[in-house]
Structure 1
């Protein structure tokens, strides 16, 4: 996997997510090995999707995001690993969640 391929996949993912969510899409953040630049050929592409939607709808939104990632997985022969979260919850727990702190420290905002 190359940086160019990662960028292509991320651009397409962002385009599709923006179509679906519009202003409800707070941000897309690349994290993990692809964000750090130490990815391997078989690394997955970790993406945190922060949405301004009610907490009770997050599970149904995960399904919509998985539809996008499954399509791109096949199209680009990659493995996208999306994590969907409510933006307010993310903000609330950022000071106590090691995962969120890692995303803040090493993440790259893509949308």
Structure 2
């Protein structure tokens, strides 16, 4: 098991590349990228997936937005050998009292 800092350092090149692609696709609609799950907690091990939340100014259809990113996600997963799991949400939806969003507030790391 790695520390939180080492977990994030390990995936930093992937995160930087993903952020570049997100900026290209969304421009100013992109508000932030949050790592959550085992990498955010410093508990990642070999085979752990990288859980990411893409936060946009607004999202009409989260599944359509996720599909829009599917080629980028697949490419990064294959090249870096890490399964990348992505959710897309709006800033406003993060205020909802869902277990996922409460957990994100507790352990998520904005990158």
TM-score under structure 1 normalisation? 0.86
Distance 1:101 1:78, change over 3 A: same
Q: Please give the root-mean-square deviation of Cα atoms over the aligned residues, in Å.
A: 1.7
Match of 1:19 in 2: 24
Equivalent residue, structure 1, for 2:73: 69
Q: Which runs of 5+ in 2 are unaligned?
A: none
Tell me what 2:40 maps to: 35
- Return the alpha-carbon distance in structure 1 between the equivalents of residues 88 and 43 of structure 2: 24
Normalised TM-score (structure 2): 0.86
Aligned length, in residue pairs: 106
Distance 1:19 1:35, change over 3 A: same
> Post-superposition shift, 1:58?
2.8
* 1:10 counterpart (4, 10, 15): 15
Cα 1:54–1:45 change in 2 (3 A) is closer
SS at match of 1:63: helix
Counterpart in the other structure of 1:106: 107
Distance 1:87 1:25 in 2: 10
Shift of 1:38: 0.7
Q: After TM superposition, where is structure 1 displaced by more than 4 Å over at least 4 residues in a row?
A: none
Q: Any unmatched runs of 5+ in structure 1? A: none
Secondary structure, aligned partner of 1:46: strand
